[in-house]
Structure 1
Amino acid sequence: PTNPTLSLVDLRRWAEAAHRVGALVVVDNTFATPINQRPLDRGADLVVHSATKYLGGHSDLLAGVVVGGADRMRELDPQFALGAPLDPFAGFLLDRSLKTLAVRMERHNAAGAAVTAALAGHPAVRAVHYPGRRDAAEEAIARSQMRGRGGMVALSLRGGASAVPAFLARLRIVQVAASLGGVESLVSVPAETSHRHLTATELAARGIDPGLVRLSLGIEEPADLVRDLGDALDASLGA
């Protein structure tokens, strides 16, 4: 899934097209994780993860991962392509976290499905962005290559940018922060954070409107998250 609109592409189709012209296919699988999607099985040459996010899962380490077949990995210059070695304590924390990745992703998947289903019809929501929701073709892609849809959800607020402050101020469980993939639920405003360097025209071309908020749903009780977000959406209606 892309950041922050969670749209999908057919990995196998793109890999086949790239290989026909001799190009390598590198997939950032941070949002999906290996639990929900396996790009190497769909023809990708390399897969990268920000292990700081879901693989780490507790917002307490900085790490990155590059994965590929043995022959492909031997072609990489470790210092140039992989950077500095991971420090020992971060390695310890990452090893700890990987033991619970599958369990955590089940909870993230459940939260994403619950929030999407419950809030799609809210009057304050203009659009819900979640893997497979764009149209029937994307739903078919999601079914074919994803085992779960994940805990990342984006909401386009009907009130636009003016509705965002009231929405954020009313949240009690979901915290305002720019990271993602941890056990705590977080929300950010891409137009003001991760994508703030883009012009209004560039944001619009990517489907990022000023009233879009990106949610990284944690492992809290899904019903509590639905209630918290619903209250915040109610508050945004009067903004």
Structure 2
Amino acid sequence: MATALLAVGVAVPAAEASAPAPASAVVVTSKLPKCRVADDLTRYRKLKHWGVTLVDHTLRLPKKYAPKDLVPVSRAKVAGSGSVRKIIVKDLRAMAKAARKAGAAFAVRSAYRSYASQKATFASWQRRLGYAGALKASARAGHSEHQLGTTIDLRAAGSSTSSFSAFGKTKAGRWVAKHAWKYGFVMSYPEGETDKTCYKFEPWHFRYVGKGTAKAVRKSGLTLREYLWREHHQPKKKAKSSG
């Protein structure tokens, strides 16, 4: 979707409550929790933690989380619009160049979204569909990976925006799915993993976590949420940016 993630299988408060459960301390556990709508601040929420920050239906970023190093995606010599953090430009440029060489050029359809922008988007969906319905069409403010500034939604270069959901079936979509990890990007919501990611298959949604972490995620066989949850709940480990 152009402005939001597509949530499914999420436990919603009774009677379509108009707000999520009150914020509370994150409970440390080694077991991946079921998809649950809540409003807890994620443990690693500083800008320098961009590679290990976990954002999902339960964990969120602060309202004031806003990268200071945003630049136009055009800096990566890739078609499209929006802004991304400067730290991803080099690898995004390299990935775009390799994709073009393989005849699988892609464009960026959506990139950074502020807390306020996501709040307005969710409110719009809620007015149309109600709270439960909005959860299936949009991420709540603070709960979108796009607020990190390191996440991009892609489409095949030259295609219309209406072909967005079919990206995975295009040559560009297949190429990115296979090679993105080499450039530090991970598909956040892979096919057949809805019970673990809490979102339907989104072949267009990629988050930059750095080459080291992307390689580790691929090797682990875990989804990004599973991998970050495991890392997120290692109290003795010190969070640091990836690369």
- Alignment TM-score, normalising by the size of structure 2: 0.30
Q: Which has the higher helix share?
A: 1
Highest Rg: 1 or 2?
1
